[in-house]
Amino acid sequence: MVFCLDGELRITYCNAAGHRFARESGGPDFRLPTLGRSVLDCMTEPDRACYARIFRRVLTERQPWEHLYEYSTPDLHRQFRVRVLPLMRQTGLMVISSLEVDPVHQGVSCPPGEKGYRNGQGLILMCCGCCRTRRRAPGEESWEWGPDFIERMPFGVTHGICPACRKHYYAEELYELEKGAAR
């Protein structure tokens, strides 16, 4: 999918793949009247705040930015690469999102049973960013993809944020906190 934004982050162009992906995933239709609307209006938190910072940084610094992100379903493990590029002849951005990995989940699912995922209070912690589930084993902690938990959410699921999503969505806030703590 490719779309372009002006200096005010309004959508000025979206290719046919963007229209198709939005339609298939229940997202906004990027055709009129969405053209001219802020791309941030098509996002929810924490994506909205994160991408607002990223888009403004690329506009200001004129340096490309890219990130690999997950958009999985219970049956498919999908990773996309998003690239944000400054336009050369005018103020604006080109955003390219391309599928990188689309295999069926194999060997990465949570093992059957919920016991290894429940904490001391009996809750299962699921990341609100990528939907991975925290597994606790003696001396280690991991975040695993659990398609069964997505398809049929067990009782007692609570949401948190995994280390990878925390780093991606809140890197600037964490940096400021660490900088403040070091003083």
pLDDT in tens, 15-68: 877 666 666 665 655 554 578 999 999 888 888 888 999 999 999 999 999 888
Neighbours of 96 (CB within 10 A): 15
In a shared domain, residues 8 and 76: yes
pTM attached to this predicted model: 0.57
DSSP conformational letter for 39? G
CB 55 within 8 Å of CB 83: no
**CATH number of 7's domain:** 3.30.450.20
Q: Tell me how far CA of residue 80 lies from CA of 61, 70, 98, 153, in angstroms.
A: 24, 6, 5, 25
Q: From 85, 104, 123, give the residue that closes a domain.
A: 104
Q: From 104, 123, 144, give the residue that closes a domain.
A: 104
CB 80 within 8 Å of CB 69: yes
Domain that holds residue 154: 105-183
